[in-house]
Amino acid sequence: MKYSDPRYIGFGQRWRRLKVDERFSELVSITQDLGLRIHVADLPPGKLGLHCHQTREIWIDVDLSPSEMTSVLAHEVGHAVFGHEDSTPENEVQANEWAAVFLVPDDEWTAYLDAYGGCKTAFFADCFGVMEDVIKTRWDQHKRTMNKAPLCAV
Ligand SMILES: [Zn+2]
């Protein structure tokens, strides 16, 4: 079957969807391991999610799309993984970076860059079922890694 065959493309989309669902389930099991409770509720305007270290709770806004919900949950779990007690700029960066690596694992990111490197952030966000901000964080991480790589192997 050729790669341009619609059946192949359809298979790719279903495979990606399965991976996204798998990642969401994994996130939920991490929250259980960490003893966190997740609530889906109507949060104040501008708030997509919240993590409370003291009560071991995560709150996710009810109006989020599936990709937003996965991205926000991963961010809040990132706060819990690091035991953040408040929202500082450093903690936000750390939670974003954890979420980006969790939702867009290294091997899949590298494979997608090889295949679709010239594509836009929105394309990658759609492929991985995440918000564009997650992909932007992944790009930043990628650029930092590339800057550290030697320019020549001599
Ligand atoms: Zn945060």
pLDDT digits (tens, 9 = 90+) for 103-145: 999 888 888 888 887 888 998 998 888 999 999 999 999 888 8
Does residue 123 form part of some domain?
yes
pLDDT value at residue 113: 86
Q: Are 109 and 72 contacting, i.e. CB atoms less than 8 angstroms apart?
A: no
| 18 band by pLDDT with thresholds 50, 70 and 90 | low
Cα angle, residue 82 at apex, residues 121 and 113 outer, rounded to 5°: 25
- Ligand 1 center to residue 49 CA distance, Å? 8
**Of 13 and 73, the one with more pLDDT:** 73
Range of the domain at 62: 6-147
**Of 13 and 19, the one with more pLDDT:** 19
Does residue 115 form part of some domain?
yes
Does residue 23 form part of some domain?
yes
Does residue 83 form part of some domain?
yes
- Ligand 1 center to residue 37 CA distance, Å? 17
Which of 16, 56, 17 is CA-nearest to residue 36?
Answer: 56
**Of 11 and 36, the one with more pLDDT:** 36
- Ligand 1 center to residue 95 CA distance, Å? 6
pLDDT value at residue 64: 92
pLDDT value at residue 1: 47
Cα angle, residue 106 at apex, residues 97 and 96 outer, rounded to 5°: 10
Handedness of CA 10, 26, 68, 108 (dihedral sign): negative
Q: Which amino acid is at 89?
A: P
pLDDT value at residue 17: 65
Look at the chain and report how many structural domains it folds into: 1
- Ligand 1 center to residue 43 CA distance, Å? 14
The reply to whether the predicted model has a pTM over 0.85 is: no
- Burial of 62 from C-beta contacts in 10 A (0-12 / 13-18 / 19+): exposed
- Ligand 1 center to residue 85 CA distance, Å? 11
Does residue 153 form part of some domain?
no
pLDDT digits (tens, 9 = 90+) for 41-85: 999 999 999 999 999 999 999 999 988 999 999 999 999 999 999
- Ligand 1 center to residue 123 CA distance, Å? 24
- Ligand 1 center to residue 87 CA distance, Å? 6
- Ligand 1 center to residue 46 CA distance, Å? 12
Q: Residue 4 pLDDT > 60, yes or no?
A: no
- Ligand 1 center to residue 29 CA distance, Å? 20
